[in-house]
Amino acid sequence: MDLRKLQRIVVDALDDIKARDVRVFDTTGQTELFDRVVIATGTSNRQTRALAAHVRDKVKEAGGAITSTEGADTGEWVLVDLGDVVVHVMQPAIRAYYNLEELWGARPVRMRVGAAPAAGGATPGRVVAKPTAAKQQAAGKPAAKTPAAAPRKRSARAAAG
């Protein structure tokens, strides 16, 4: 199966079951084992298992092969190996702890999530991967500003003394 078609099936399947923060990364320069890593967040054990199962079902329907699935018994982190694409469906705490974006995120793949392209050529939906602040600075663009910390109020004791 074509790599682009496979990643589109995966992203659409994750969107069907309302996965959060779906990211796709091109790993061709980092490993020879697979070409794409897809990372998504599920809000509960039940949802992570459902997301992984839906990805498996949609890939099978399209004629793709499932190499293996790991972690479905606990549902905290479910990995679906599709050969050229590896899908990680994780709960928020597990995703934050392991931070796979740091490991695989050197080359994000920009994709739209949601409805298929409209007749006028516009593609509704949200963008899957955004450039990191470091990449924006390297391209000469200012990084996103973070809100400044609010000044701390002085206590009555500190003001009197």
> Which residue ranges make up each domain of the chain?
3-114
Who's near 142: CB < 8 A, 6+ residues apart? 136
Beta-bridged to residue 127, according to DSSP, are 112
- Domain 3-114, classified CATH 3.30.460.10, yes or no: yes
Q: What is the pTM of this model?
A: 0.71
Q: What is the radius of gyration, based on Cα positions, of the chain?
A: 20
| CB contact burial 64-78 (16+ within 10 A = b; e otherwise) | beeeebebbeebbbb
> Tens-digit pLDDT profile for the chain (161 aa)?
899 999 999 999 999 999 999 999 999 989 999 999 999 999 999 999 999 999 999 999 999 999 999 999 999 999 999 999 999 999 999 999 999 999 998 889 987 776 554 444 433 444 455 444 444 444 454 544 434 444 444 444 444 44
Tens of pLDDT, residues 62-91: 999 999 999 999 999 999 999 999 999 999
Furthest C-alpha separation in the chain: 76
Q: How far apart are CA 152 and CA 86, in angstroms?
A: 46
Residue 159: predicted pLDDT: 47
